[in-house]
Amino acid sequence: MTPQMSLLEVQNLCIHFPVKHGVFGRVRESVKAVGGVSLEVAHGETVGLVGESGCGKTTMGRAIVRLIAPTAGRILFEGEDVTSLNGEVLRARRRHFQMIFQDPFGALNPRMTVRQIIAEAIDAHGLADTEQARQTRIDSLLQVVGLDSAHGQRYPSEFSGGQRQRIGIARALAVEPKLIVCDEPVSALDVSVQAQIVNLLQDLQRDRGLAYLFISHNFAVVERVSRRVLVMYLGKIVEAGPVQAVVRTPRHPYTQALISAVPELDSVTQRKRIVLPGDAPSPISPPAGCPFHPRCPIAEARCRTDVPTLREIQPGHSVSCHLASI
C-alpha cells in the first residue's frame, strides 16, 4: 500500500530578516529567525509547535501560510511546492490553508461589521453565487462557532476577547480550508474562555477533518490538543515526538524546563521548577555549538563547539542534544 501523502511538508525552512545600518541602509547582518526547520502535518492531524517568546514559532507559522517569504527551503502543500507562488495562483491555493491569530483584538478590522469580515473571504474566492447564498453561508458560520446571526451586524469592539476569537475562527472557516495554523489562539484569553475555544477547535476538527499546526508556549494546552509536538529554541527544533512521550520523558534540558513551568493542581506530585539562567541569545549572532548551551545546566565542553543533530532516540522521538541518552 502506498503511504498517504502529508497534507503539509516543510523542508529545511530558513527565514532571515536583514538588519540595516547607517543612513544608507547597508545590510551587514541578519536576524536568523528560523534556521533549517522541517516538519510534517498529516490530514486531520494536530501538531504542536512549542517554545518561549522569540524562538521563531510565529514567524514559522506566518511563512507556512505565505504571509512571510522564506529565505530558503520548501513548503509543500498536498505535494505542491507553494514556496514561490505569487499573485492569483497563491490566492487560489491559500484558500486551503488559513491562520488564526494570537491577538483577537488586532486581527479584525474595527471598521467592518462581523458580516463584512466573514464575507470578505467568501467574496475573494467566489464561494457564493447569490446574495442569499452568501448570507446563508455567513449565518451558518456564525452558528458553528457559537454566535448568533444577529451578531453579524455588530462591530468587533462590541465583543469580548473570546467572542472575537470565535469571529476569527469563522473567518478562517469561511473558505473551507484543510489546514489552519493556530498562532497562540488562546493565550490572550481568560482560562475559562481558553477551554471553550479549545473545545470548539477540537469539535471543528472532528466534524470537518481539519488539520492544525498549533503554536503555543503552553505545554498544557498543546498536550491536550496535539498528537505530536515539536519544541523550538532559537529558530531550531530541539526535540520532537509523540506528545505523551515528550511530556512524560522529555530528553532535552530546554523541554524539561518548559514542562516544569506547567502548573499542577496536585501539590503532592508537583514538579520541581527549573529556572533557566539569563535570556535566549540574540538570533542575530547565535552562539557556536549547541544554541542552548549558554543556559543549559548540564552543558559540557563539546556543547560549546559542536552543533548537535536532531537524532532519533526512541521510535518517533528525536532530540538535538549531545547528552541525551538512548
Q: Decide: helix, strand or coil at residue 170.
A: helix
The answer to whether residue 279 sits within a structural domain is yes
**Could you tell me if 173 and 144 are in contact, meaning their C-beta atoms sit under 8 angstroms apart?**
yes
The answer to whether residue 154 sits within a structural domain is no
Q: What is the CA radius of gyration of the chain?
A: 21
Q: What DSSP assignment string belongs to 260-321?
A: HTS--S-GGGPPPP-PPPS-PPPTTSPPSSSTTGGG-TT--GGGGTSPPP-EEEETTEEE--
pLDDT digits (tens, 9 = 90+) for 250-300: 999 999 999 988 876 454 455 677 878 878 888 888 899 999 999 999 999
The answer to whether residue 145 sits within a structural domain is no
97-100 and 317-319 as β-strands: parallel, antiparallel, unpaired? unpaired
* Eight-class DSSP state of 149: G
The pTM assigned to this predicted structure is 0.92
Total domains in the fold of the chain: 1
The answer to whether residue 48 sits within a structural domain is yes
Which residues span the domain enclosing 47? 8-96+178-190+205-319
The answer to whether residue 92 sits within a structural domain is yes
- Of 8-17, 148-157, 183-192, 203-212, where does mean pLDDT reach its minimum? 183-192
- pLDDT at residue 240 above 80? yes
Q: What DSSP assignment string belongs to 203-224?
A: HHHHHH--EEEEEES-HHHHHH
The answer to whether residue 227 sits within a structural domain is yes
The CATH number given to whatever domain includes residue 53 is 3.40.50.300
Residue 268 is predicted with a pLDDT of 47
- pLDDT at residue 246 above 50? yes
The answer to whether residue 81 sits within a structural domain is yes
The answer to whether residue 73 sits within a structural domain is yes
pLDDT digits (tens, 9 = 90+) for 15-39: 999 888 777 677 778 899 999 999 9
**Could you tell me if 322 and 306 are in contact, meaning their C-beta atoms sit under 8 angstroms apart?**
yes
